[in-house]
Amino acid sequence: MTLPVYTWWGEVPTHLATRTRLAELDLPRQPAGPARATIDTRNALGKKATFDLYDVRESIPTQASAAQLAAAAARRTKPRTCQDCGAHPDTPCTQSADGRALCDTCAHIDRLRARQQEAAADSRQAAASAVGLLDDEHLVVLAVDYTPGEPTAAGTPRPPAAARITVLDRDGATLHDRTLRLTGPRTPGAPAHAIDPAPALADLTNLLAERTVVLWTPGDLDPLHDALRRLKLTTALLPEGRVNSLRPAATQWRADLDPRTGEPRRPTPPGTADRLLLLLRRVAAGG
């Protein structure tokens, strides 16, 4: 039977523990069954290592007597009482950066608070960057909305049949709003108003040539570029060195951390050009 493999301690169920962790319990225990999982992590020296995890419910007491455990507890130098919440955890407390002994929960909260302070500084930096973008009189925002291609008879998805490309200036005025056909004229799926991409792309390239472009992420254009290659149309659509992705700045500005890992949550895409501009303004406002 293949054992589950974990890659970080936060995903390990509470009923699984290493042999060392079992021995560190206030009333120590030892494995009485086989390893039920493993974790690939790093050891105390920072080197990659794999540890076996045992089911605490299958463990048995060590041979230490109550008198021996009481004597060992009297010799302890590390506190077993959390200095934040007063808990008496089964496992040893963790020492915080300022020297407090904390239970696992309080230690996690302490790390999250520190990460929140870092995130707040990142949020202010993102706001300052957004202000700089909006101060640029050449700024435009660009968004692409794809029309899915009709699936094959076997149900296999096809590439997008069309792409609506919208470009707004920093005041919200529409500079470009056209739907381009991304398939041959005989291929179904594109809207009736979709146009030949070649002349529209030429106009768009000229429009963007001297602009500072903001889009959600450059990956938004990947299906468009793939379609243009199939149509044997090559164009440097975006001006080199003047393209900005809003997603990293929005991630920083929101400063919304995953409570499990402390890592930033990925924000939801705006979806349209006017919403993209709205979000950029909110980031710049900082509130």
Identify the CATH number of the domain in which residue 216 sits. 3.30.420.10
Q: How far apart are CA 25 and CA 100, in angstroms?
A: 20
153 and 28 within one domain: no
- Write down which residue in 59, 76, 93 finishes a domain: 76
Q: Is residue 117 situated within a structural domain?
A: no
Beta-sheet pairing, 243-245 with 94-95: unpaired
Q: Using DSSP, state whether 261 is helix, strand or coil.
A: coil
pLDDT at 46: 83
| DSSP bridge partners of 169 | 140
146 and 280 within one domain: yes
H/E stretch holding 2 reads none
Q: Is residue 88 situated within a structural domain?
A: no
Q: Is residue 185 situated within a structural domain?
A: yes
pLDDT at 34: 95
pLDDT at 230: 86
Going residue by residue through the chain, which has 287 residues, state the pLDDT in tens, using 9 for 90 and above: 789 999 988 899 999 999 999 999 999 999 999 999 999 998 888 899 999 999 999 999 999 999 999 999 888 888 889 999 999 999 889 999 899 999 999 999 999 999 999 999 999 999 999 999 999 999 999 999 999 877 766 767 778 899 999 999 999 999 999 999 988 776 777 888 889 988 999 999 999 999 999 999 999 999 999 888 888 887 778 888 899 999 999 999 999 999 988 999 999 999 999 999 999 999 999 86
280 and 157 within one domain: yes
- Write down which residue in 58, 76, 94 finishes a domain: 76
Q: Can you spell out the DSSP letters for 37-63?
A: EEEEEE-TTS-EEEEEEEEGGG-EE-S
| DSSP bridge partners of 172 | none
- Write down which residue in 48, 76, 104 finishes a domain: 76
Q: Residue 23 sits in which domain range?
A: 1-76
Looking at the 3D structure of the chain, how many domains does it have?
2
- pTM (2 d.p.): 0.81
Q: How far apart are CA 149 and CA 161, in angstroms?
A: 5
pLDDT at 183: 84
Q: Is residue 47 situated within a structural domain?
A: yes
Q: Is residue 87 situated within a structural domain?
A: no
148 and 240 within one domain: yes
pLDDT at 246: 97
Residue 14 structure tokens: 């509470």
Distances in Å between the alpha carbon of 82 and those of 69, 73, 85, 216, 278? 20, 16, 6, 45, 46
Beta strands per DSSP E along 43-113: 48-55, 60-61, 94-95, 101-102
